């Protein structure tokens, strides 16, 4: 039971980050390298604003980040958008600026955030830290809600249309600029939420976002652009693999094996016959359009 | 292809900026004076991480060092001349530490080196110091497996911490000892000495866990540690991981009050993040800002006034303050700025300070033989001295020293 709960907890963190980066990738065709640093920003808002309840601090982190995210997209990402590599480097620069800013403002000493919900809860005879469970469940609910919006609303349809074929979507009347800014803010806010929500479980410091990038990128590697469901499924698989390996093996060995499995799978997936096999299986599983 | 005009202008600007930066790194000190020059002031090269993840500890060392030099200069300096120093930033990177140490010796002609925080940067500077026969002092706690003839450690050694703490924890809490650490050289070395000391105190090692640096989820490690039902837990989980490990351990109920707990997370550096977890626990240190000694109190007052400091003063600052005074006293005894002569005097020196009476370096390992203090951590980060354990000697020989 505790292994399952651990997977849910890790999936919540990786899922929010991956879903966020996948939304940005869908609309902008760029991997947001500042995603981890946006999570750090959310964690710092929660750690430094005192006197308000935890929930309000999380909300404040989200509200405070909306405008900066809009400015970043408008001022920094719009111009070099034609060149994907240049845009990615801009996001790297944004991340660096956030890290340096945090170090200047708060120093590099780690901070901690008190648990908003203390104690443990008993689940099928297994005592589990209450806040870990709350954080995992809130994250899962948010991920579910975002997927629902993506697959059941007009905005989601437009996002998927832009992800599939931006030129065609523009010709059909979609304003790509509005879609890009909305996607960047939504994706960035998911990272801010991840950092804020999980701050009581982590050490809050300027470089904390860096360590979150690797599992997020691995998850992104196994997802299809624009298909946000695959990004969430990949985040779940990455979280499950990491937790299971660490449960069965020592942490160091588990880490080594984790990288071997993930990189090995990615290499295997890139082989043409495996890609063909995957493509056929998708056709078999997807019902034919009427 | 001929470079464009703008490109050459950029190159010129970059070169000029690099030149300016290298001049700035000299901190205004004269570059012409040579080590060992008769009549020239003694110059110290300082290599510190002033940026990067351990920059706060580096800055604390710098503050302690600067106040130590100021104190010596206020009393007339060394050999009648004010001591000068050059501070450089290695950002905690061993390759940069090596380059800076070489530059300080070859260009700035320093007579001694001081600083570094992490073990790998200390070893990098020690190698350069050894090759160039220039003494190097470091103030951070912990020791490495190797010893260098020109490197001297003012921080407490692993044995000096564990020899008093482990038997006491076993006596108070029980014989089942667990070890947790970050997965790099030093925590493994630390665990080796824990095993040695625990065994001689009648303890048994029931769990040993290591995790790569940068771990965010500690559930599996904590579960394994809990399953081993330890009476005592010794942790060398360091950096930000120490905070995450402690926080998650607390959430999983690992740190119950019956569990004896000591190690890196109890250091003053982590107190602001872990206050609830460590309050009331005992911790062995070499120096604390609560030490009841006139000279130590004066340092604490000066430090707080000079740097407008209200938090607990990190131990590394105290070690650096008294350490650099030890080094400069040796230089005074040598009577000249010759690094080799100063190094010989450091090896022979007996020095009184709040760190102990007649402190000296053990020739077999170059570790400072000084007093150790048992402190109890109180609210607000007060590491109050509950027992002065006297001089805890560590004479275990290390490869590289005679």
Q: Let me know: does A4 contact A155? Beta carbons within 8 Å.
A: no
pLDDT of residue B102: 96
Question: B244 in contact with A at a CB cutoff of 8 Å?
Answer: yes
Cα B211 to Cα B206: distance, rounded to the nearest angstrom: 17
Q: Considering only CB atoms, which chain B residues are within 8 Å of A109? A: 56, 269, 272-273
Chain B: nearest CA to A54, how far in angstroms?
A: 17
Q: Let me know: does A42 contact A196? Beta carbons within 8 Å.
A: yes
Q: How far is CA A162 from the centre of its chain?
A: 20
pLDDT of residue B20: 43
Confidence of residue A81 (pLDDT cuts 50, 70, 90): low
Cα A259 to Cα A242: distance, rounded to the nearest angstrom: 10
Which of A65-74, B3-12, B361-370, B371-380 is least confident?
B3-12
Considering only CA atoms, which of A216, A210, A267 is closest in space to residue A239?
A: A216
In sequence order, the 6+-apart residues with CB closer than 8 A to the CB of B195 are: B179, B205
**What are the helix and strand counts (H, E) for chain A?**
12, 2
Confidence of residue B34 (pLDDT cuts 50, 70, 90): very low
Q: Do A250 and B210 touch (CB under 8 A)?
A: yes
| Chain A stretch 78-117, residues whose beta carbon is closer than 8 A to a beta carbon of chain B | 103, 107-112, 114-115
Confidence of residue A42 (pLDDT cuts 50, 70, 90): very high
Residue A142 has pLDDT above 90, yes or no: yes
Q: Which residues pair with A127 in a beta bridge?
A: A122
Which two tokens mark B158? 């692993």
Q: Let me know: does B97 contact B73? Beta carbons within 8 Å.
A: no
Considering only CA atoms, which of A220, A204, A194 is closest in space to residue A62?
A: A194
ipTM score for this prediction: 0.85
Per DSSP bridges, beta strands B176-182 and B204-211 are parallel
Cα B167 to Cα B170: distance, rounded to the nearest angstrom: 5
Q: Do B52 and A108 touch (CB under 8 A)?
A: yes
User: Hey, how many other C-beta atoms are within 10 angstroms of the C-beta on B104?
Assistant: 29
Mean pLDDT, rounded, for B276-300: 93
Question: B183 in contact with A at a CB cutoff of 8 Å?
Answer: yes
Q: Considering only CB atoms, which chain B residues are within 8 Å of A210? A: 214
Q: Which residues pair with B78 in a beta bridge?
A: B81
Q: Let me know: does A56 contact A195? Beta carbons within 8 Å.
A: no
pLDDT in tens, B294-315: 999 999 999 999 999 988 898 9
CB-nearest partner of B219 from A6, A112, A252: A6
pLDDT in tens, B220-264: 999 999 999 999 999 999 888 899 999 999 999 999 889 999 998
* Percentage of chain B exceeding pLDDT 70: 90
Cα A278 to Cα A272: distance, rounded to the nearest angstrom: 10
Cα B196 to Cα B188: distance, rounded to the nearest angstrom: 12
Cα A11 to Cα A3: distance, rounded to the nearest angstrom: 12
Q: Let me know: does B236 contact B195? Beta carbons within 8 Å.
A: no
pLDDT of residue A82: 61
pLDDT of residue A160: 79
């Amino acid at each position: 039971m505790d292994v399952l709960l651990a997977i849910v907890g890790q999936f919540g963190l990786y899922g929010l980050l991956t879903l966020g980066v996948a939304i940005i990738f869908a609309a902008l065709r760029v991997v947001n390298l500042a995603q981890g640093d946006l999570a750090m920003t959310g964690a710092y808002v929660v750690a430094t604003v005192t006197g308000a309840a935890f929930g309000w601090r999380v909300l404040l982190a989200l509200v405070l980040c909306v405008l900066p995210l809009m400015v970043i997209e408008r001022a920094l990402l719009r111009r070099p958008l034609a060149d994907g590599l240049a845009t990615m480097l801009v996001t790297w620069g944004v991340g660096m600026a956030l890290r340096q800013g945090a170090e200047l403002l708060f120093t590099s000493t780690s901070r901690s955030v008190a648990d908003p919900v203390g104690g443990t809860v008993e689940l099928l005879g297994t005592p589990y830290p209450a806040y870990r469970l709350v954080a995992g469940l809130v994250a899962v609910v948010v991920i579910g809600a975002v997927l629902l919006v993506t697959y059941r609303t007009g905005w989601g349809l437009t996002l998927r249309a832009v992800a599939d074929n931006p030129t065609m979507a523009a010709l059909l009347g979609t304003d790509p600029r509005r879609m890009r800014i909305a996607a960047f803010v939504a994706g960035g806010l998911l990272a801010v939420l991840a950092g804020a929500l999980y701050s009581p479980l982590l050490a809050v410091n300027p470089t904390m976002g860096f360590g979150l990038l690797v599992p997020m990128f691995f998850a992104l590697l196994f997802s299809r652009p624009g298909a946000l469901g695959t990004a969430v499924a990949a985040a779940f698989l990455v979280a499950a693999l990491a937790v299971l390996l660490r449960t069965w093996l020592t942490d160091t060995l588990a880490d080594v094996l984790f990288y071997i499995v993930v990189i090995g799978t990615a290499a295997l997936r890139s082989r043409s016959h495996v890609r063909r096999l995957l493509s056929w299986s998708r056709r078999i599983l997807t019902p034919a359009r009427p | 292809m001929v470079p464009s005009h703008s490109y050459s202008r950029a190159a010129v600007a970059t070169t000029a900026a690099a030149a300016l930066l290298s001049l700035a790194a000299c901190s205004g000190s004269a570059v012409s004076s040579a080590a060992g020059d008769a009549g020239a002031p003694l110059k110290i090269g300082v290599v510190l991480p002033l940026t990067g993840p351990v920059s706060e500890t580096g800055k604390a060392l710098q503050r302690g060092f600067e106040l130590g030099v100021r104190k010596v200069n206020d009393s007339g300096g060394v050999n009648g001349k004010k001591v000068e120093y050059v501070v450089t930033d290695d950002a905690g990177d061993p390759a940069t530490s090596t380059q800076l140490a070489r530059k300080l010796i070859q260009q700035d002609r320093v007579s001694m080196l001081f600083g570094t925080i992490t073990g790998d940067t200390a070893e990098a500077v020690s190698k350069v110091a050894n090759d160039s026969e220039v003494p190097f002092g470091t103030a951070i706690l912990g020791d490495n497996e190797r010893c260098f003839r020109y490197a001297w450690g003012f921080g407490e050694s692993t044995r000096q911490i564990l020899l008093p703490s482990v038997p006491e924890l076993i006596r108070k809490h029980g014989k089942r000892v667990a070890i947790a650490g970050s997965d790099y050289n030093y925590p493994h070395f630390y665990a080796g000495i824990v095993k040695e000391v625990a065994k001689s105190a009648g303890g048994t090692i029931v769990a040993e866990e290591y995790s790569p640096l940068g771990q965010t989820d500690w559930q599996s490690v904590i579960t394994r540690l809990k399953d081993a039902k330890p009476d005592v837990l010794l942790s060398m989980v360091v950096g930000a991981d120490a905070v995450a490990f402690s926080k998650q351990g607390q959430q999983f109920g690992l740190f119950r009050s019956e569990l004896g707990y000591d190690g890196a997370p109890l250091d003053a550096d982590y107190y602001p993040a872990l206050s609830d977890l460590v309050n009331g626990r005992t911790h062995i240190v070499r120096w604390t800002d609560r030490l009841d000694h006139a000279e130590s109190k004066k340092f604490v007052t000066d430090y707080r006034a000079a740097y407008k400091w209200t938090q607990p003063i990190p131990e590394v600052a105290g070690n650096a303050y008294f350490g650099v005074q030890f080094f400069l006293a040796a230089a005074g005894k040598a009577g000249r700025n010759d690094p080799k002569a100063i190094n010989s005097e450091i090896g022979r020196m007996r020095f009184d300070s709040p760190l102990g009476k007649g402190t000296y370096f053990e020739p077999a390992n170059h570790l400072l033989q000084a007093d150790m203090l048992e402190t109890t951590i109180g609210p607000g980060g007060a590491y109050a001295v509950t027992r002065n354990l006297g001089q805890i000697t560590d004479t275990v020989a290390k490869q590289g020293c005679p």
